[in-house]
Structures are given as structure tokens and as C-alpha cells.
Structure 1
Amino acid sequence: MRILVTGGAGFIGSHIVDALITQGHEVIVVDNLTSGRKENINPAARFYFMDICSPEMEEVFRKEKPELVNHHAAQIDVRRSVADPHEDARVNIVGLLNLLKNCVRYGVKGFIFASSGGVVYGEPTELPVKEGYPKGPLSPYGVSKLASEYYLYCFAQVHGLPYITLRYGNVYGPRQDPHGEAGVVAIFGNKMLKGETPTIYGDGEQLRDYVYVQDVVKANLLAMEKLAKKSYPSLGKGIDGLAYNIGTGKGTSVNELFHLLKKVIGYQGEAIYGPTRAGELKRIYLDCSKAWQELGWRAEVKLEEGLKHTVQSLTPEIR
């Protein structure tokens, strides 16, 4: 199958590209390298250095004729979205619409969308959160992800474009940027390994659902199989019928995460505490039973094991 992966030079996207190529698929990568890295791109993929908002995306579709699009290119930083909601919407909404327009024009047969189970539900009162829980995003990033799900639903209804949404927890693992604004595991790990002091924002009791990147890759492969078999969920169930939470079903506090990393690395210091960040949720973790029932997917990598793999990727000398 010919598959276009947007954000295929990025953290999650590059792992998906590797898995697709291992399976024998023909892969096209589009990435503007804002946060992706060229060294992450599998040499067997065809690479286009391009912004997903560019009119030149049409030429990629015309030339490559992808059968499926796996969409991981995004502005992913909650704080950046609060500071510049216009740019967040440009990338996450206008970029999506540019892709969808070309999907319809060039006969794409399926679309996999990376949404965020960490932001679309808002601050839930019931945990773990199921897909049907009322939505209430508290950041422009969350709004853009939820709006994207509705656009996908609209294009499915109006144009017949099949899609599946994967609502991720906090994904971590090798290739996550330790110098970025998002990705606490890589950021903390990098600082500890350099003997620097990590900063925990707020009281550190915020709960998050940390899911290892290779588990996320498997969810994408299973979603692709479901689309290929034309057995995707009914449109009659709305956006939640077409969405799957992808997480572990367990909440881990930032304080607990810090101490687990401290143990893995052998770090002797303590964290410092900073002010709570705007738009940040207090508690979120996901009920992923639907993904098991309908995709045959569940998270398999335990947190401490995943942290060890991540730390090894940050430090070649530890391998």
C-alpha cells in the first residue's frame, strides 16, 4: 500500500514510518522539519520537505497518489497554543483541511488522525475517561484537535472518506525531543543525565497516562488494517464511534515519574518546583477498553521498562 505519513520525521511519525516500511509498504513522508529531524527519516521513504498548509501539497498527492494518509504533523505544545492560538489553528486546522481537500480530489481510501486524549476531554470528573465522555478542551491545542475530529467526521459524511481517530495519552520513548517544550520524559531524562535540575510545574501531583511509542505504533498498524478491511465504525455513532483512546488506563503523577526516572538513571538530585502552567489539566488518564474490543490493541510496555529504553536512546554510552 502507498501511505503518506505527515510528520514522518518527527517523534511518533518516524517510528510509524519504520514499521510500515518493515511491513513492505511504500511510504511517502511530508515534514517541514520544524520539530522533526532529517536523521529520523527512514532512507527507504520518499521525503518531501514541505509544510502541510502549502498549496504544493496538491503536487505530492498528484504525483504519489497515496492510498492512505497517516496524519501526525501538528503543533503539539499546549503552552505555545495558549500564547499563539492563531498559529496553532493554522497548522492543526488549516493544514488538516488542505490534506482533506486533496484526499477527496485524489481518491485516498482512508485517513488515520492523531488526536489527543490528554486534551479533548478537558478536566474530567470520571476516571479513567471513556471516548464518549463530554468534551471540554481547556487550551487552543485541545480545541484544534477536537475541531479536526469534527472536520474528519464531516468529510466522511459528505465525501465518503473513511477515517479513524487515535486519541493518545502522553506518548514517550526514543526520538522524543529533550530540548522541546513538550515531552516531560525526554526533558527530565536529558537534564538528569547532564547533572542539571529538572523543574516540575505546579505541585507535581498532576496525573497523566504515559504510553510507550512502540505501543502507539501498533495501534496505528491495527487501525490501518481496520480501514483496509473496510470494517471501520459506523458514522451513526458520531466522532466518538470513530475514535479510540490509546493509553495505559493508569494515571502516573509527575512526582512519581520523576522518582522512577531518578531510579533508572541513578540521579542523586531533587527537582525544583515552578508555577502552574496555563491550560494544564490536573488529572487525566484513559479508558482504552474499546481499543482492545474493536482493534485488538492494548498497551504492553510497562512504564519502567519504557523509561529504560528512552534513557538508553538519550545516552549512547549506556547502551
Structure 2
Amino acid sequence: MKILVTGGAGFIGSHVAEAFVREGHDVVIVDDLSSGREENVPAGAKLHVLDVRSGLIEDLMAKERPEVLCHHAAQMDVRRSVADPLFDAGVNIIGLLNLLEAGRKHGLQRVLFASTGGAIYGEQEVFPCPETHPTAPVSPYGVAKLASEKYLHFYHTEYGIRWVALRYANVYGPRQNPHGEAGVVAIFTEKLLRGEQPVINGDGKQTRDYVFVGDLVRANLLALNTDYCGPLNLGTGRETDVNTLFHLLCRACGVDMPERHGPAKPGEQRRSSIDSSLAKRILGWEPEVELERGLALTVEYFRQRRPAG
């Protein structure tokens, strides 16, 4: 089938696009390369350098007529969303609506949406939490993801476009961007390999549910053919605090380094883990890559990309 992957030159989107190509699908990528890299675009996929908010999206949809939209393009920095909610909504809500409006006119049948399994719930009451947990996001980023899911429900009700919101836990793995605020695994790994000291925010006891990017690729492939419409959590259900993650990465990098703590980030979520039982029932999906193995694969990727000498 023909699949349009937005953000297909980025961290998660490029892995997903690569898998779609490998499975024989006709893959078209839209990415403005603001954070994605052209070298991540898989051979066999067609790249259009374009912002999802652009008026040219309509022309692209008319020309390509994808059956599936796999939407990974996003403003993904939670702290930026707090500082600039208008920018966040412009990319994450208006960008999606631009794609859906163009898609509904030109044969779009299904949307796979990269949602969030952390920010959408806010401070959790249950650990790990299922999809039925109250959604009370405390950042504009989380609000935008929740609003996007509601819009997808509308487009299904009004136009029959099927949808699955893949609520990712904290994703890590090869190609993750080590710059900026996102991606603690990548940030710590790059610093450790350079012999630099990573700084842990606050006491380091804040927890996250870390899921390997390769496991999420499998979920996207499985979601292509499901009749289910709605959200699906994709995580491990396992909480790992930042201090533990730091020591696991030190071991993977072959470095012996003490913890160094800095000020806590205001408003940072204290605990997060999600229950993926529904994804197992609906898709037959469950995570396969243990954290220690995934970190080793990630470290090896960054090690190979380091300049010689």
C-alpha cells in the first residue's frame, strides 16, 4: 500500500519508514529536516522536504494519494511547549489538521498517529496505567496530543478514516538526537563516550518507562491492518529512575563515573509507566528488547558514529 510517513527523516519515523519499505510498501516521506537528517531516509522512499503546516500539503496529497498516513512529525520538546504554546499547537494540532483535511479529499483511509504515553496522562494515579486512566496533561505538548486524538475520532466518525493512536512511552535507540531537551539516553551516551560528566536533574529518582525504538517499529507494522480504532499504550510497564539509567549507561560505555546532580526542572513529571496489555490483545504486540540490551545497541550506534581519534 502507499504510506505517507511524516517525520520520516527523524529518529522514530525513519526506523518505521525503513520497515515499511522492507515490507514492500510504497513509502513517501514528508520532513522539513528541522531536526531530521536526510541520511536517515531509507533507500526506496521518496522524500519531500516540506513543513506539515504548508499549503503545498494539499498538492502532495492530490498527487500521491496515500492510503495510510503515519504521522510522526511533531514539536516534541515538552519544555518548549510550555514556553511557547502557540508554536507547539501550530505544529502539533494545525499540522495534523492540515494533513487530515488534505487526506480526506484524496483517498486517505487510515492514520497511525504517534501519540504520547507519558505526557497525555499527567501525574499518574495508577502504575503502570492503562488507556482508561484519566487524561490530565500538564503541558501544552500533552494537551496537543490529546486534542489530536479527539480530532482523529472526529475524522473517523465524519469521514470513515480509521485511526490508531500509538501512545509511546519514553523511546530510545539508534538515531536519537543527543541535542536539545529530548532524549536523555542519547544525551548521556554522547557525553559519556566523550568522557564528559552528564548532569542528572534533581535527585534522579524520577522514573520513566523506556521502550526500544525497534519494538515500536513492530507495533506500527502490526497497526497497519487492525480494525481497532483508538489509543494503544506501547511501553514496558517497567519504571527506571534516572540514577539507575545513568549507571546502566556507564556500564554500557565502559566508564566509571559518579553521579552529578543539578537543580530539578520545574514541573517535571515524577513517575511514569504504562500498561500495554491492550496492545497485546489487539495487535499481539509486547516489548522484546530488555533495557540493558537496548542500551548496549544504542551505545554501539553512537560509538560507531564518533569521529576517529
The TM-score bracket by the shorter chain reads: over 0.9
Q: Distance in 2 between matches of 1:165 and 1:26?
A: 22
Q: Distance in 1 between matches of 2:305 and 2:160?
A: 51
Question: Which residue in 2 is equivalent to 1:54?
Answer: 54
Which of 240, 245, 255 matches 1:252?
A: 240
Question: Which residue in 2 is equivalent to 1:24?
Answer: 24
Question: Which residue in 1 is equivalent to 2:265?
Answer: 277
Quote the offset at 1:278 in angstroms.
3.0
Asked if structure 1 preserves the Cα contact closer than 8 Å seen for 2:61 and 2:102, the reply is yes
Question: Which residue in 1 is equivalent to 2:110?
Answer: 110
Q: Distance in 2 between matches of 1:225 and 1:271?
A: 46
TM-score (norm 2): 0.97
Question: Which residue in 1 is equivalent to 2:213?
Answer: 213
Asked if structure 2 preserves the Cα contact closer than 8 Å seen for 1:67 and 1:109, the reply is yes
What per-residue deviation string (whole Å, max 9, x for no partner) do you get for residues 108-144 of structure 1? 1100000000100000121110001011101111111
Question: Which residue in 2 is equivalent to 1:239?
Answer: none
Runs of 4+ displaced beyond 4 Å: none
Q: Distance in 1 between matches of 2:266 and 2:109?
A: 39
Counting only pairs closer than 5 Å after superposition, residues 44-83 of structure 1 correspond to structure 2 as 44-83=44-83
Quote the offset at 1:317 in angstroms.
7.5
Asked if structure 2 preserves the Cα contact closer than 8 Å seen for 1:3 and 1:68, the reply is yes
Counting only pairs closer than 5 Å after superposition, residues 121-270 of structure 1 correspond to structure 2 as 121-226=121-226, 231-233=227-229, 242-270=230-258
Share of identical aligned residues, percent?
53
Q: Distance in 2 between matches of 1:270 and 1:224?
A: 45
> Which amino acid counterpart does residue 131 of structure 1 have in structure 2?
E
Which of 276, 282, 285 matches 1:294?
A: 282
Q: Distance in 2 between matches of 1:59 and 1:8?
A: 19
Quote the offset at 1:270 in angstroms.
2.2
Unaligned residue ranges in structure 2 (runs of 5+): none
> Which amino acid counterpart does residue 306 of structure 1 have in structure 2?
G
> Which amino acid counterpart does residue 277 of structure 2 have in structure 1?
S
**Matched position secondary structure for 1:225:** coil
Counting only pairs closer than 5 Å after superposition, residues 31-46 of structure 1 correspond to structure 2 as 31-46=31-46
> Which amino acid counterpart does residue 42 of structure 2 have in structure 1?
N
1:315 aligns with 2:294: no
Number of residue pairs matched by the alignment: 306
TM-score (norm 1): 0.94
**Matched position secondary structure for 2:236:** coil
The alignment's C-alpha RMSD in Å is 1.1
Question: Which residue in 2 is equivalent to 1:87?
Answer: 87
Quote the offset at 1:272 in angstroms.
2.0
Quote the offset at 1:178 in angstroms.
1.2
**Matched position secondary structure for 2:224:** helix
> Which amino acid counterpart does residue 280 of structure 1 have in structure 2?
E
Asked if structure 2 preserves the Cα contact closer than 8 Å seen for 1:209 and 1:247, the reply is yes
